[in-house]
Structure 1
Amino acid sequence: MTIDLGRVRAGTEPAGDLTIGFRETGTPSGTPVVLLHGLGSKAATWDLFAAELAEDSGWAIALDARGHGASSWPGEYSLDLMVGDLLAFLDRRGFDRVDLVGHSMGGGVAQLFAGSHPRRVRRLVIEEAAPPARTPPAEPASEPPAEAPGPVDFDWRLVRPVYRGLRTPDPDWWALLASIAAPTLLVAGGPASHLSRERIQETAAAIPDARMVEIEVGHHVHREAPAAFAEAVLDFLR
């Protein structure tokens, strides 16, 4: 099912056992650019960038991750399951190869997908995301609360498993970076971000063909500096 909202076509697509919500912008031609949001966000966070991409003759499809937006809220969550959801969506739409852009949690999913399915990704953009530290912190990170502290518009049940996936040292994740075949751009948010520049640099060094750009606005680069983000990413995708 698809609903035309002016320049954005919003819809849902069966993908495996789930329904995946999406927002599509631009004229379907060439390689689609698939956009993956961060934890607690949704596909609409990419609307401004998708519009810039469409102006540049591109084609963007932003997805709602499971437990977010118009996608199913199944109660079962992990980064690996989100990788499977992405694969099911691409297969359902008949996309053999895409450009993939991911922010934060979505950037983790994008890394894992590109390493597990290297031929499916033409170019990869990772905004403010890196594998967990290689060794556990001196003091274990506190668990998020079991219940949301206030109203949220996503399934709070996903927070603990996703946080664990992003924080628990995983040598397999680091090893998987070497399998990424796509040219890769890593976008760092600078000192205002909670994610260290050194970790992003380390991630870039582990990917065979990667470079990093820093836009010093914090963790949400595409939202806080949309023009600078679009300039860097569109130039890379071209």
Structure 2
Amino acid sequence: MIKVRVVEVGGSRMSYRETGDAGGPAVVLLHGGGSDASTWDRFAGVLAAAGRRVIAPDLPGHGGTARFRSYSLAGYRDAVTGLLDVLALDRPALVGHSLGAHTASLVAQERPDGVSRLVLEDPPAPARDGVATAVLSPARVTLLFAGALLRRRRYHPTALTSAIRELRRPDPGWWDRLPAITAPTLVLSGGPTSHLPPDRLADAAARIPGAEFVTIPVGHRIHSLAPDRFAAVVAPFLLLSDR
């Protein structure tokens, strides 16, 4: 059974969904931009059945979590680390999709000893250097804005546009910090139909010590478009510590 809870993190309201064994190893699931924690309900059930405590927060500006005037990638990171502290989660596994994957990578870079396992599903890797690049195509941005108008209660459009703007800028520092990640890591690519270039994701995975790189060629939203294939790859990776 999934329960929706609200806590205060850094003086602001943060909503999260919880299911599974309260005493089991924790897995934190981070959704993508323009989504919310409910996107993980099906996969959360898989992990709960395996004895995990599953926490899926709404990121700032999304779902039941507080809205702000401005957002930053560092702010998403700080919200997640703040939640980990408030809930006293001991070395949880992190699974993130898109914006949530980038956020998970930032948490793992900042707290290398505080993450037990890391799964990055089609993470938006910024350019290392040179000019700004399109993290999303113009057509994709138009669709997201249309969705924002229809689902204002679900997420704050500025939360998404701010992330896109920041991710379009080259960030050599993010690349330089990837080798600091010590958690066993799995990087998933949605393949050629995703708007995120698979070769860049492969390069990012190569910079994380011992990381695995797997392609499930269904597009950007792997866990939604191919939930059984996603679970077949990710759940065993997360449960390896039981063996």
How does the TM-score come out when normalised to structure 2?
0.90
**Is residue 188–residue 216 contact of structure 2 (8 Å, CA) maintained in 1?**
yes
Partner of residue 125 from structure 1, selected from 88, 103, 119: 119
**1:131-146 matches, cutoff 5 A:** 131-137=125-131
**Structure 2 equivalent of residue 222 of structure 1:** 223
**Could you list the per-position Cα deviations for residues 1-39 of structure 1 after superposition, in whole angstroms to 9, with x for gaps in the alignment?**
xxxxxx101111111121111011111123210000000
Q: How does 1:70-81 map to 2 (within 5 A)?
A: 70-81=64-75
Q: 2:3 aligns with which of 3, 9, 23?
A: 9
From the superposition, tell whether residues 186 and 140 of structure 1 become closer, same or farther in structure 2 (CA, over 3 Å). closer
Partner of residue 114 from structure 1, selected from 83, 103, 108: 108
Residues 163-202 of structure 1 aligned to structure 2 (within 5 Å): 163-202=164-203
SS at match of 1:208: coil
Aligned to 1:212: 213
Tell me if 1:99 matches 2:100.
Answer: no
Percent identity over the alignment? 41
1:27 is aligned to 2:28: no
Bigger share in helix: 2
Conserved 8 A contact 1:182-1:209: no
Structure 2 residue 39 is matched with structure 1 residue 45: yes
Aligned-residue offset at 1:151: 2.3
In the alignment, the residues of structure 2 paired with residue 31 and residue 211 of structure 1 have an alpha-carbon distance, to the nearest angstrom, of 22
- The normalised TM-score by structure 1 is 0.91
C-alpha contact 1:100 1:125 (8 A) present in aligned 2: yes
Residue pair 1:67, 1:75 contacting (<8 A) in 2 also: no
1:4 matched residue in structure 2: none
> 1:220 is aligned with what amino acid?
R
In structure 1, runs of 5+ residues without a counterpart are 1-6
Cα distance, 1:176 vs structure 2: 1.1
* Matches of 1:148 and 1:28, distance apart in 2: 38
Name the structure 2 match of 1:87: 81
User: 1:190 is matched by which residue type in structure 2?
Assistant: G
SS of equivalent residue, structure 1 residue 12: strand
Distance in structure 2 (CA, Å) of the matches to 1:50 and 1:217: 21
Q: How many residues align?
A: 231
- Matches of 1:108 and 1:188 in 2, distance apart? 13
Alignment of 1:60 with 2:61, yes or no, is no
Higher strand share: 1
Can you give the 5+ residue segments of structure 2 that lack an aligned partner in the other structure? none
Q: Which moved more, 1:228-237 or 1:128-137?
A: 128-137
Q: How large is the Cα RMSD of the aligned pairs?
A: 1.9
Measure, in 1, the Cα distance between the counterparts of 2:134 and 2:5.
41
